[in-house]
Amino acid sequence: MRKALLFIVLSVLFVLAACGKANSTDENKGANANAETPEVEESTSLEVEIKDASGETVIFETTPESIAVLNSGDLDILRRLDVNVTGRPTASGPVDQEIEGITEIGNPHQPNFEKIAEVNPDVLAVPLSFQQYAGNITEQGTKVVYTQANSVDDILKTIENFGEVFDKKADAEKVIQKIQQEIEAVEKAEPVKTLLVYGAPGTYLAALPNSLSGDLLEKAGGENIASDFTQEENYPQYASLSIEKIIERNPEMIMLITHGEPEAVKAAFEEEMSENAAWKNLDAVKNGNVVVLPSHLFGSNPGTQVSEALQVMVESLSAVK
């Protein structure tokens, strides 16, 4: 009997010891598992990087809520993308009712820093000529993004960048595709020797192929007779008029480009030509092929209307007598 009782007691102790060891092992395994597999936090970063017209990378940690601009082309693009614009370029004439309520903040040559500070945008889009003022803006906590419009590709890149920054990539892609399709659909005119003249009464420059009008002329089928003229130091997309070379190359078409008052510019330019006998013998002048291009398409950045500008260029070339 004693032996049987002793056997039962030993059996119970053995079972209890085995269970304790198993529990201890399981706890150790759980602890080791936690130690070997630390929790990894999922990334929720919305950071966006773009390369602007200056060639520099601009980083946005979150989607901006507002932007102000100094040229009409950028304003046009942002309106197409339905972005909140709090500041627009100061207008010299009537403006669309839809933008009347947006505060005017000056222009690239005369920015109104007081108004820019007043609208306090998250982003300010500006041309490269604004670089000398950029420090004043970034100190206020506003990001500066540089844009340019010296070619169709420049404009398409600006649309792409704005789409990235404001989380409007799908909308931007639709706008880009539409412009590309419209440009591809344009039939080039027959080659026409053309002089592009940009300026205001008393000051005239020849537009070079690396300007927007020069790029559009090439796409339209025209031949820029000033393609090898020497660039202006401060305006590398333009060159001084060389009367000797112009006479030698005898353009069939002269296109005038101005910011405003096109008829006044044309009258002043025609007066200048009448005072120089050499101009009178040019085919363009003799045949009445001197036109003023629409200022809203050629005198400034046309934005999403760039395909319309190309169509106007083609029609002008096709009308050569």
Domain boundaries defined on the chain: 48-185, 193-318
Number of C-beta neighbours around residue 112 at 10 A = 16
Task: Tell whether pTM > 0.85.
Answer: no
* 20-23: Cβ within 8 A, 24+ apart: none
Q: Which of 133, 145, 138, 126 is nearest to 57 (CA)?
A: 145
193-318 matches 48-185 in CATH topology:
yes
Q: Which of 141, 113, 253, 117 is nearest to 197 (CA)?
A: 253
pLDDT at position 46 is 72
Backbone angles phi, psi at 80, to 5 degrees: -65, -30
Sorting pLDDT into bands at 50, 70 and 90, what band is 140?
confident
Cα torsion angle, 265, 266, 269, 274, sign: negative
Q: What is the per-residue pLDDT across 87-129, written as a single tens digit (0 to 9) for each?
A: 999 987 778 888 999 999 999 889 999 999 999 999 999 999 8
Mean pLDDT of the chain: 86
Write down the architecture of domain 193-318 according to CATH.
3-Layer(aba) Sandwich (3.40)
CB 190 within 8 A of CB 221: yes
Q: Which of 52-56, 195-199, 255-259 holds the top average pLDDT? A: 52-56
CB 282 within 8 A of CB 253: no
CATH code: domain 48-185 is 3.40.50.1980
Average pLDDT on 253-281 reads: 82
AA letter at 251: P
